[in-house]
């Protein structure tokens, strides 16, 4: 199993450009998440999904959109990138359960917006 | 929302030393996890521990849910233990996302 994969690994954008980050998981997990990590801030949740076709806002959703058309994929879109969106983006997935709701993380995407 | 505070923010250890990392949270939780982020950025789940004690090799964790804190113990530290340790919690309402603390940055020196 590949686990959780993210593409691309690195990207540089100019202000106002758009892009989509792809997250894929092969563990048949129901839940998927997008986080951003900034220096000294820990991880903050952007959006999440509790199943195919569903999405919900997290702590910092502004400027981002997401889609979960297939269970194994979770897309994060930036319609008009801003320098404040320079960050490392992590995707995670989990199988919700009463005993072990462990989240598994992808390797991250480092995004720079100039 | 729920607050998660980790201490200390930074820690430097000599190889072979032991350490204790603390995580305090402001409300009842039904999920608490400890993660290690290595120097290359990869996040690895260490423990799922909403209550009680677990051990995995040189690492162990204890959560006292009634007092709203969790401790991560690292014994006989090694340079490969370096990185950032995060505590993350989920509130006791069911199916809500994890809230992360800001982490403890550990540096183990040979």
Quote the pLDDT of residue B92. 61
Average pLDDT of span A91-100: 74
CA distance, residue A30 to nearest chain B CA (Å): 11
Count of pairs with CB atoms under 8 A, one residue in A, one in B: 47
Rounded Cα distance between A76 and A5, Å, is 13
**Gap from B18 CA to chain A (nearest CA, Å):** 24
pLDDT at A54: 93
Say whether residue A90 is in contact with chain B using an 8 A CB cutoff: yes
Dist. CA A49–CA A101, nearest whole Å? 14
Please tell me if residue B81 touches chain A, with a CB cutoff of 8 Å. no
Taking CA atoms, A21 is separated from A72, B9, B58, B78, in Å, by 14, 31, 37, 35
pLDDT digits (tens, 9 = 90+) for A70-93: 999 999 999 999 999 999 999 999
- pLDDT, residue A83, reads 96
| Whole-Å CA distances, A108 to A23, A41, A77, B33 | 10, 16, 15, 19
pLDDT in tens, A17-52: 999 999 999 999 999 999 999 987 789 999 999 899
B39-74 pLDDT tens trace: 889 999 999 999 999 999 999 999 999 999 999 999
Q: Which residues contact B43 (CB under 8 A, 6 or more apart)?
A: A90, A92, A105, B35, B36, B37, B86
H/E element, A4:
strand A4-7
What's the confidence (pLDDT) of residue A41?
Answer: 78
Residue B52: phi, psi to the nearest 5?
A: 85, -160
DSSP B44: E
């Amino acid at each position: 199993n590949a686990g959780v994969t993210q593409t691309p690994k690195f990207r540089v954008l100019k202000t106002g450009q758009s892009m989509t980050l792809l997250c894929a998981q092969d563990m048949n997990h129901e839940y998927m998440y997008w986080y951003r990590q900034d220096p000294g801030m820990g991880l903050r949740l952007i959006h999440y999904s509790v199943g195919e076709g569903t999405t919900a806002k997290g702590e910092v959703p502004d400027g981002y959109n997401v889609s979960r058309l297939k269970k194994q994929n979770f897309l994060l879109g930036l319609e008009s990138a801003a320098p404040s969106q320079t960050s490392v983006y992590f995707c995670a997935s989990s199988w919700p359960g009463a005993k072990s709701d462990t989240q598994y993380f992808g390797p991250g995407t480092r995004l720079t917006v100039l | 929302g729920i607050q998660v505070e980790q201490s200390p923010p930074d820690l430097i250890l000599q190889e072979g030393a032991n350490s204790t990392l603390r995580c305090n949270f402001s409300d009842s939780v039904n999920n608490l996890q400890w993660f290690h982020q290595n120097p290359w950025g990869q996040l690895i789940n260490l423990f799922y521990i909403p209550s009680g004690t677990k051990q995995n090799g040189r690492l162990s964790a204890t959560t006292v849910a009634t007092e709203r804190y969790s401790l991560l113990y690292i014994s006989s530290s090694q340079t490969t233990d370096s990185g950032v340790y995060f505590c993350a919690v989920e509130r006791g309402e069911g199916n809500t996302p994890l809230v992360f603390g800001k982490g403890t940055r550990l540096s183990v020196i040979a």
